[in-house]
Amino acid sequence: MFKTVLPLSAILSLRFFGLFLVLPVLSAYALNLEGATPFLIGVIVGGYALTQAIFQVPFGTMSDKIGRKPTLLIGLVIFLVGSIICAISTDIYTLMIGRFLQGTGAIGAVIPAMISDLVTEESRGKAMALMGGTIAISFAAAMALGPVIAAQAGFASLFWITAGLAIISMVILFTKVPTPPRIRHIYHSKTTTRDILSDQNLLNMIIINGMQKGLMAVAFVLIPILLTKEGYGFDWDKAELWKVYVPALLAGLIAMGPAAVFGEKYNKPREIFLLSILLFIVSFTLMGFATRGWEFIIGVVAFFIAFNMMEPLVQSMISKFAKVHQKGAALGMANGFAYLMTFIGGAVAGLALQYGGREIVSIILIVVSTLWLLWTFKMSNPHRYSHLYLPMDHVDMEKLNALEHEHIAEWYINETENIVAIKYRKEMVEEEAIKAKIVQ
């Protein structure tokens, strides 16, 4: 599994490392560009997310149709062009165009879908946790290095590094990433992407994913500005921002492992999500009303613990709830909404900070997070499913096509390995009973 997942995780992590590298300093440095205002800074912070939101579903659906690898290449090329435009920008509007282009290469859903293709569902939780762990490491490294590199080599250097990482990702794609198996699925009624939104489990995950990413954008608008700009009482130098990000991200990384184990192994994702939301409320309370630096730092630490506890579980739950032929589209919808919320979070945070001050922003965030907490209370933990794998030549295809059972979630054919896979609730239907229905 590790040999399969690591190259894909590396591509996603390198891409995110480039995006994360600018986040800790973007709002502070971009304020010095021609035409900059706090509102436009918020748009810049979340700008890539708007085009990500628009193109997530098309890229996810395209990957289902033309293949994961070609789709990944297209996305990486567009990301490369956007990074170069950001690097040469001298005004806020050129930077905005580059950020929008960075987001147009919307491969965020394609890689989790490809991982889902390449590993069994029993191993998917570990695979998603591994992917989330590599992203968290890139997150921590970027938070530490971004302020230092920007101070030493200039703000534009961060985008040149990002462009170089895009090229490295393309090399990994064609030298290390295996080709996914061909999957054939047959259903008695046509399934559309509309079914994704009508599935309450998937809808809950889409909302959780969107809120988590939207609050991330808010945090990265607030933290650099509140700590470095005059009038907020902290007066940090931009090069010192790593002092708050590194301990916060290390704490988040440490919390991720136990959260993933508790959520996956003990099937308690709902409880992890509720605890994370409570920590978000604590975090934004401290960021909004802290008067001393250590109080603010505790708020940032609480934020990153909450964010990292959620991250691997969200992607894993979506891939479990979606049917095999929907994974690209379902992850595309979830990530599309998440990126839309990222854009909205950044823009609203900048606007609220410009006209209302940090206390008003904090109150808004506390109210929104409390409503989110109440929504999540009604969520149920997922059913546990097992998989039955049978060689194709042992299966009567006519009987398989007629297979109906309320506790069989789906079945599909892995044509590459000539295997029929059946997903079922083990405590509700016995394996031998399924075999009796379809084995020749």
364 in Cβ contact with 287 (< 8 Å): no
Cα-Cα-Cα-Cα dihedral sign, residues 337, 340, 345, 351: negative
Over residues 268-314, the pLDDT tens digits come to 888 999 999 999 999 999 999 988 888 999 999 999 999 988 877 88
Q: Where are the domains of the chain?
A: 2-179+193-377, 386-438
Over residues 352-389, the pLDDT tens digits come to 888 888 888 899 999 999 999 999 988 877 777 777 88
CB atoms within 10 A of CB 198: 9
| CA distance linking residue 100 with residue 214, whole number of Å | 17
Residue that has been written with the tokens 């938070």 in this structure: 143
Which range has highest mean pLDDT (29-33, 36-40, 41-45, 154-158)? Answer: 154-158
CA angle 242, 244, 247 (to 5 degrees): 95
Tell me the one-letter amino acid at 338: A
| CA distance linking residue 287 with residue 182, whole number of Å | 49
**What's the whole-number mean pLDDT along residues 33-55?**
82
CB atoms within 10 A of CB 120: 12
Residue that has been written with the tokens 């029993």 in this structure: 122
| Third-level CATH fold of 2-179+193-377 | Growth Hormone; Chain: A; (1.20.1250)
Question: Comparing C-alpha atoms, which of 14, 13, 20 is closest to residue 342?
Answer: 20
The helix/strand/coil state of 313 is helix
CB atoms within 10 A of CB 200: 12
| CA distance linking residue 233 with residue 226, whole number of Å | 8
pTM, full prediction: 0.71
